Structure 1
Amino acid sequence: MHLPVRTVRSASRPKRRHRGQALVLACLSFLLLALMTTLSFNLSHALREKMSLQQHSDALAYSMGVVEARALNYYAASNRAIASSYVGMTSAHAYMAAASATGDMMRAGQMSFFIVAALEVAQCPPYNFQHCFDAIEALMIAMDYSSKASDYDSKVKDVEDKFNKVIQDLNKMANSIHDSQKSAHNKARSAVRGGQSANLSNLTDYNVPGANSLDSSVGGLNGEEFDCAVDGMNCSRANSSNKARAQVMTEISNASRPSWAANRSLPVIMNGLPTYFKSDFIKDLLKDIPGEGTHVIMGHQGTAKVAQTKSNIHGPGQVTGNEGKVVVADEHGTLLSQWRHGFGVGTYKAVVESSENGGSHEPSGAHSGQHDEFKGINTKDLMSCTASGNCFMKFRADDNPDTDWGQPHVYSYVTKQFFVGDPKKAPWELNDTGSFTLTHGAQGDGKLQLAPGEGAALSKALVYYHRLGPNGWKEAPGLFNPYWRVKLHPFTAQEASRVLNRAGNSDAADLAGAKDLAL
């Protein structure tokens, strides 16, 4: 049986629409993508600026090292010039001593003929009247020698003022060179302290416009390092004494003398005279005045040097503490004459000394006035002796390998603000704060910093000494050879921490000093 069923159609209801739900997620995704893109732009900008800043810091450290290396090489070249002035003084004294010896050689001839005359007199009657006549002739020859001695003394005396002027000018040259060294040192120190002079300021314009200049505290550290490289400057390491510094220059000066000034010795017996005497003098001494006979020079010696005193002219140099207080030269020997029936011996000696106390000159007949133009080597402290005494730059060595044997380090610490702060110039920063803020109801605001702040760069250079060649490293650093160079050099952790602390960046200093952290 079929029951009747009434079908009732319900009223139709509209279906719920799901369109637009993905739009919210898409907007959030695009927002995150935009933020990530902006962040990547800012990160790329920061990396590029950091690389440029680091390259600038490296270039600044290296360039300041070049300034120091050039200064040290100038000291080396000018120290040689100072030594050459003392070499010139020793040569001038050698010539003056040789000239002064001419008169005393004539007196040696006079003495030898006095002896000949005495021997001839001893052989007079009752033996042979000829000996009496020979004695008279020998006395006349002795008088001729005496007259010639006065003539040669007079010639030497005529050039004495010129000799003193030469020593005065050479002494002034040494002082002027040191004055230039002092000026060069002050300029180089100013350059490495400020990083601006000596055209160093151009590096900022070329490499990183807008970067800050070298940190003043780090610049002060550079100045200390540079001063410590030069013995006599203010430094935490001890200075050597003025005496020790004077000994070095004295030894170099004496070692640089030409062979003629250093040693004018002749064989024990030589029939004749040294070839540096004029032929007219040789003819007078050996031929024209005596007329006949045999005349021999024995034990002729001559030298000139910068010495401690006149008396130790033939002694060693630095071994005896030679500080170079005098410049002295001597010429001495013996003249042996055989004439007629007798023979005679006469000695000669000439000494020329210049010192602050007035010096001396032998023989006295060839001398007038004083030889006081030489003031001594390194008589006062390095930076105060320019006006009144000779001095020079000397390298302050250190036997500690951790300090690179005293060779100076150069540091650079520079900063730059990477944040531009102008969206028109740097659109990747979005706004003038370079940040993005999100608000989330009761949970507050969240701030995302997109743009970087200030960046910093740290660099180090080493000014080192190295002579080219296979054995160049064996030569110790010094300021007499211009082989100073510069290179970028790695930091030790302690050193980097010390420099960063000087720059006031304590956080970076703590990080640099962390254990087992490779720099």
Structure 2
Amino acid sequence: MHLHVRQRERIMKRSSRRSARGQALVLGALSFLVLALMMTLSFNLSHALREKMSLQQHSDSLAYSMAVVEARTLNYYAISNRSIAATYVASNSMHGYMAAASVTGDIMRAGRNNFYVIAAQEFGQCGCWSCFMHCVHGIQALKVASKYSKAASNYDNKARGLDSKFTQTVQGLDRMVDFIHGSQSMVHKNTMQALKDGQSYGLSGLKDYNAPGASTLVSAVGALNANEFNCAVDGMPCPGGVASSDTKTRAKVMTEVANATRSTWPANRGLTGNLPTHLHPSFLNEVRNIPGEGVNFPLPVHKGTAKTVQSSGGVSGGSGGGNEGKMIAAEESGTMANQWKHGAMVWNYDAKVVSDSGSGSHSPGGAHTGSHQFEGVNTKGLTTCIMSGNCFMKFRADEQKDNDFGQPSAYSYVTDDLRVGDAVKAPWELNSSATVNFENGDSSASITLAAGQAAALSRALVYYHRLGENGWNEPPNLFNPYWRAKLHPFTQAEARKVLTAANNTDAAQLVQMAGGLSL
């Protein structure tokens, strides 16, 4: 009896040891499974983080690069706008030269008229025998007047010989403006294409370098970029933005810039003492020496100017209501003084050259041939200004600070699959779906080891900053090439707009509900 009890105890101990060894095996297997899953999840998480960082880096570089393209385009507009203004200044100078050439004949005519009066003065004093010399002087004064008249005809002929070449030059400068604006239009078109697709003109290389598997720029986001860029140029279509100004307003801007940048020659030829020292010394000597004696010279009240004007009367004064630059005009005027023998007289002289959309005008008439044509400044709407109309690119400002005062933004939204989907290339995903299934009797569960698709959005701002002290105080414009680009944070409204355009409505709603979210 005692023996049987001891045998049963030994059997029970051996059974207990076998049971413990079985439990340890099960627990060990489960532990290895959990460790394997944790390691797999760790690899997947590391891979996902790396891919997401690469995707965001690509999105940032794409937005910044598109903004750089925009900034370079706006700087090109600034430089080419200066060229357009310089073309008007050159045309002003040409009109100034033509007026200076034409005034020579009128100065001689002023001398002729003076000597007609002097002759009358002399004849008026020769009524008696003792005053006979006054009669002789009168006859001599008429001969001097005749010499001045011949000299006037001679200088009119010289000016007339220059008139056709002058007209060709002015028309050539007018066409140059159209060609310059044509290049602006082409650059605008190419820039729009790059902003729409995010691939043109070298931008596609960013994807190959940063995130080869990333999607291209979402077309609806590209459309936002194109609209932002259009809204920065006054006269381009801009749905939802500030309305365009009319052609007259834009014309006034270019006209003011062109007139303000004139050098001394076209702006004011009344040099020191208001003497016509810009006229050739041989001409001035001839003016003085034709009478042979006496004092004969233009008085120090000479004036000469050339500018882009609203009307021909505005060349010597202002333009009430604004100067739209409908014509280019130059005027040269002064007073000729002659004192000879017993007589003296002063006579005004004047020359004016005007080019407009018609035939223009030119006085004195003896120096004129043909017609003087000038198209005018910004005579057409920007979208219809193709190789005619003398258009240019003007910045369209927005008074709203929240809209960055009209400075354009460049947005990027791209996606990428974080899951490789190939167990050979990514063994930590285990299979093509990266999913592990568990079954326990009638119960089942699954774990997805790798994330699916990731998205990245970025914003860059194209901004204007003039270097130097108080550089930030200068408002954005398209006459100074100080446009730059930088990555810029989103406002909630902007992020929601981009996400909605990208059809990511869930993220857009999240942004809308998350007040104070840093973007």
TM-score above 0.5, yes or no: yes
Instruction: Mark the CA change 1:183 to 1:499 in structure 2 (over 3 Å): closer, same or farther.
Output: same
Q: Secondary structure at the match of 1:234?
A: coil
Q: Secondary structure at the match of 1:10?
A: helix
1:250 lines up with 2:259 in the alignment: no
Aligned counterparts of 2:440 and 2:303: Cα–Cα separation in 1: 105
Question: Do the aligned partners of 1:115 and 1:345 also contact (CA within 8 Å) in 2?
Answer: no
1:260 lines up with 2:242 in the alignment: no
Deviation at 1:451, TM superposition (A): 1.1
Q: Secondary structure at the match of 1:249?
A: helix
Question: Do the aligned partners of 1:114 and 1:344 also contact (CA within 8 Å) in 2?
Answer: no
Aligned counterparts of 1:79 and 1:239: Cα–Cα separation in 2: 18
Aligned counterparts of 1:498 and 1:260: Cα–Cα separation in 2: 54
Tell me which residue corresponds to 1:3.
none
Q: How many residues align?
A: 506
Question: Do the aligned partners of 2:269 and 2:278 also contact (CA within 8 Å) in 1?
Answer: no
Segment drifting more, 299-308 vs 385-394:
385-394
Question: Do the aligned partners of 1:358 and 1:371 also contact (CA within 8 Å) in 2?
Answer: yes
Segment drifting more, 295-304 vs 48-57:
295-304
Tell me which residue corresponds to 1:230.
233
Q: Secondary structure at the match of 1:395?
A: coil
The equivalences for 1:208-227 within 5 A come to 208-227=211-230
Tell me which residue corresponds to 2:326.
325
Tell me which residue corresponds to 1:380.
380
Q: Secondary structure at the match of 1:353?
A: strand
Tell me which residue corresponds to 2:456.
457
The equivalences for 1:156-167 within 5 A come to 156-167=159-170
Matched residue type, 2:185: K
Aligned counterparts of 2:496 and 2:283: Cα–Cα separation in 1: 76
Deviation at 1:182, TM superposition (A): 0.4
Task: Provide Cα deviations, 1:400-435, integer angstroms capped at 9, x if missing partner.
Answer: 000011000110000011111110111111001111
The equivalences for 1:20-31 within 5 A come to 20-31=22-33
Matched residue type, 2:480: N
Question: Do the aligned partners of 2:316 and 2:331 also contact (CA within 8 Å) in 1?
Answer: no
Tell me which residue corresponds to 2:71.
69
Matched residue type, 1:420: V
Matched residue type, 2:276: P
TM-score by structure 1 length?
A: 0.95
Higher-helix-fraction structure? 2
Segment drifting more, 457-466 vs 291-300:
291-300
Aligned counterparts of 1:390 and 1:193: Cα–Cα separation in 2: 28
Deviation at 1:90, TM superposition (A): 0.2
Question: Do the aligned partners of 2:179 and 2:387 also contact (CA within 8 Å) in 1?
Answer: no
Tell me which residue corresponds to 1:124.
126
Which aligned runs of 4 or more in structure 1 are off by greater than 3 angstroms? none
Instruction: Mark the CA change 1:51 to 1:267 in structure 2 (over 3 Å): closer, same or farther.
Output: closer
Segment drifting more, 51-60 vs 382-391:
382-391
Deviation at 1:493, TM superposition (A): 1.3
Deviation at 1:517, TM superposition (A): 4.2
Correspondent of 2:200 among 187, 193, 197? 197
Correspondent of 2:91 among 75, 89, 92? 89
Q: CA RMSD in A?
A: 1.3
Question: Do the aligned partners of 1:182 and 1:383 also contact (CA within 8 Å) in 2?
Answer: no
Aligned counterparts of 2:336 and 2:262: Cα–Cα separation in 1: 28
Deviation at 1:336, TM superposition (A): 1.3
Question: Do the aligned partners of 1:110 and 1:346 also contact (CA within 8 Å) in 2?
Answer: no
Aligned counterparts of 1:452 and 1:352: Cα–Cα separation in 2: 77
Correspondent of 1:302 among 301, 304, 307? 304
Deviation at 1:210, TM superposition (A): 1.5
Tell me which residue corresponds to 2:392.
392
Q: Secondary structure at the match of 2:3?
A: coil
Q: Secondary structure at the match of 2:258?
A: helix
Instruction: Mark the CA change 1:286 to 1:505 in structure 2 (over 3 Å): closer, same or farther.
Output: same
Correspondent of 1:100 among 86, 99, 102? 102
Structure 1 unaligned spans of 5+: 1-6
Structure 2 unaligned spans of 5+: none
Matched residue type, 1:359: G
Deviation at 1:262, TM superposition (A): 0.4
Aligned counterparts of 2:285 and 2:297: Cα–Cα separation in 1: 13
TM-score by structure 2 length?
A: 0.95
